[in-house]
Structure 1
Amino acid sequence: MVARMPVRRRYLVIQLKRLRREAGLSQDEVWKALGWSRAKLQRLEAGDFQRLKAGDIMALCQVYKADKAIAEELIQIARDSRAEKPWWIRYKDVLPGAFLGLEAEATLIQEYNIALVPGLLQTRDYATALMRTSVDIHGEEEVQRRLEIRAERQRTVLDREEPPMVMAVIDEAAIRRQIGGVETMKAQVRHLLELSERPRIDIQILPFSAGAHAAAGVPFTILGFDGTDAAGSVVYLESHKDGYYLDTDEEIVRYRLIFSRTQGSAMSVEDSRIFLERLLT
C-alpha cells in the first residue's frame, strides 16, 4: 500500500543497519567491499534517499549473509518504493537533509528547544520573522519556499489520520523572546494554547526558576518509530546544515533519560497552559 511506504522505508533502513551490526562489519568495510562511495552507504543508513535500487539492497543482504526471507522482504520494499515520490522531495533544493522524511514517519516526537518555538508548532508569521533574519536564507523567494515546506510539514505530521504523539518542552526564553513583535508573539502563544488542547500534543514550559536541568542547554529532537523502545529511534541535533543523527541504543536511552528529567523540571501540561494564558492578559 503506497500510503504506508514511508514507514516501510524506515523499517528497511533499521533492518539494514541491524544486519550490518550483526555481521560485525563497519560502514567502511561494507562500502569498500561493494565498490561504493562512503557517502552512498552513509546516505542510505541515514534514510537520506529518494529512490532505492533493489540491486543495492540485494548486494547488501549478500554481504551481510541475511536470512533469505528477510532479504526478500527488504528487496520487495525497495522495488515498491520506486512507485512512490514523498511530498518533501520537491523541496530538496532548499532542505536537502533526511529530517523531513524521518519526522513524517515518526509515531513519537519528543523535542526540547531553548531559544525558539519548535518548527512544528510555529505560526506562519513567527516563522516568517525568523526566516527573514537568517543569514542562511537568501531572498524572498527562498523565504516563501521554506514557508511552504513548514506549512506542508505541519499538515503532514499534525493533521494526518493517525498523528504522532508530540511532547514538547520549551524553555521560557523561547516564549519571552519577541520574535516578530508583540502581536506576532501573542498569536504564537494563542496557537500553542490551541495545539495543547489536542489529545496527542503535550506542551510544557521549562521556567527560568527551574535553574540547572538535565538538558544542559542543548536542544534536541527524538524521533520514535516503534513506540517507546530505543530500537529504531533517532536523536536529531540541529545545526546550520543538515544536523547530526544519533541512533545507537545507548544514545537513544541517554537522550530519553535527559528528556524525561527535563520534563520533570518543567511545569506540568496544565500549569504550562496557565502560564501561557497569563502572557495574553
Structure 2
Amino acid sequence: MRTPTGRQLRFGAELRKLRERAGLNATEAGQLLGIKQAQVSNMEAGRVGMSADRVRQIACHYDCSDTPLIQALSEMASQRTRGWWEQSRDLVPSSLLDLAQLEHHAHSLRDSTTARIPGLLQTREYALEIFRQAVIELSPPDIEHRLSFRIKRQAILFHEDEPTPYKAIIHEAALRMKVGGSTVARQQLQHLLDMSDRDHITLHAITFDAGAYPGSGQSIHYAHGPVPQLDTVYLDQAHGLLFLDAEAQLHKYRTLFSRIEAIALPPEKTQDLIHNVMREL
C-alpha cells in the first residue's frame, strides 16, 4: 500500500477531529457506522478513500451540523486525481510533493520571508543559486530536479482562468541580498515588479526601519482552504518542511500575519522600494 499523501493524511485527521468532537472513541464510531474499529483507524490514517456520500453519512452519525465544513470535506474526498507532482515522486523529497499538492488545492496563499524571495516568485537563475548553496550539497541532477519542480509549482500563479490569489510580504533584506550577483539580483527584482502588476498578486515590503517585528526570525507560509478549519501553515526549516493545522496554531499564524501586514509598506510604496534597490545595484 502506498504511503498516504499529505492531503490524504489531512483528510483522515479531519475525520478524527469530527469523531472526537462527537465524544466517540474508534470502537463506538465503528458501531455507529457498521464497520470495524480497524476500518475507522484506517480512514483516519488516510489509508482508504471514500465517496462524498460516505463523508456526509459519517458527519451525520457524528452529529456535525457545520454544513460548509461537511461540503468541503466531501469535495476533498472526491478530488482523487493525481497531479503533475506525482511524476517527481522518486526525484524530490515527499514533503515537496505534499507542498505542491497543498498549493494546487489552496484557495489563496500568503508568504512572509526575511532573507529570501519566496519560492513562487523566484526566477530560474535565482532559484538555481539557492539550490547551489544548500547546506547539504546537492548533486547536479538533484539540483535540476529541484529547480524544475519549483518552476512547475509556480504555474498556479499563471492559470488563465483561475490563478491562485497570492500575497507576499518580503523584508528589505531579501530585496537587497545579491543572490547570484548583481545581474541575477536585478532580474529577480524586475520579475517581482512584473508579477506585482497582476491583479491576483499583492506584494508588501518591510523596511529595515520597521525594526523587530513578530515572526521576523522565520519564513512563514499560509495556505487558505475552502473553510478556515482546512487552512494549513507550513514552515521551511533546516530539516525540511513542517506542516501545521491544529486550530490553535492556525489562529496564532492568522494573528501573526495580520500584525506583520500592519507594519508593511502598501503595494505602491513596495514597488517604489524595489525600484530604488534596483538603481543601487
* Fold shared by both chains (TM-score > 0.5): yes
Q: Which residue of 1 aligns with 2:187?
A: 187
Q: 1:215 to 1:26 in 2, by over 3 A?
A: farther
Equivalent position of 1:4 in the other structure = none
**CA shift for structure 1 position 250:** 2.6
Match 1:248 to one of 240, 246, 250? 246
- 1:76 Cα deviation after fit: 9.3
Q: Which amino acid aligns with 2:20?
A: R
CA RMSD of aligned residues (A): 3.9
Amino acid of the structure 1 residue aligned with 2:217: G
The residue type equivalent to 1:107 in the other structure is H
Once residues 121 and 26 of structure 1 are traced to their aligned partners in structure 2, the CA distance between those partners, rounded to angstroms, is 45
Matched, 1:200 2:197: no
The verdict on how the C-alpha distance between 1:35 and 1:262 changes in structure 2, with shifts beyond 3 A counting, is same
Distance in 2 between residues matched to 1:270 and 1:110, nearest whole Å: 18
Runs (4+) of structure 1 exceeding 4 A deviation are: 8-15, 35-38, 61-68, 73-78
Q: CA deviation at 1:102?
A: 0.6
Counterpart secondary structure, 2:85 = helix
Distance 2:194 2:138 in 1: 32
Report Cα offsets for 1:237-280 as digits up to 9, x if no partner.
12234422221333222211111111111111100000101122
Alpha-carbon distance, 1:95 to partner: 2.6
Task: Report the TM-score when normalising by structure 1.
Answer: 0.77
Equivalent position of 2:265 in the other structure: 267
CA–CA distance in 2 between the matches of 1:128 and 1:105?
26
The residue that corresponds to 1:109 in the other structure is 109
- 1:48-98 CA deviation, whole Å, 9 max, x = no partner? x8xx5349x979x87994579x99x978975x555x221111222313012
Judge conservation of contact 1:202–1:269 (CA < 8 Å) in 2: yes
CA distance in 1 between counterparts of 2:143 and 2:251 reads: 37
Please name the residue that 1:5 is paired with. Answer: none
Q: Does residue 91 in structure 1 map to residue 95 in structure 2?
A: no
Residue of structure 1 in register with 2:18 after alignment: 19
Distance 1:76 1:207 in 2: 41
User: Is the 8 Å Cα contact of residues 107 and 164 (structure 1) preserved in structure 2?
Assistant: yes
Count of residue correspondences: 259
- The one-character-per-residue Cα deviations of 1:202-258 (angstroms, maximum 9, x if unpaired) are 1111111001212242221110012xx632111111223442222133322221111
Distance 2:76 2:111 in 1: 30
AA in 2 matched with 1:113: T
Contact map agreement 1:96 1:242 (CA 8 A) in 2 = no
Q: In 2, Cα distance between the equivalents of 1:35 and 1:11? A: 17
Q: Aligned partner of 1:224: which letter?
A: H
**Cα distance in 2, alignment partners of residues 216 and 116 from structure 1:** 12
What SS is found at the alignment partner of 1:243? strand
Structure 1, unmatched stretches of 5+, are 1-7
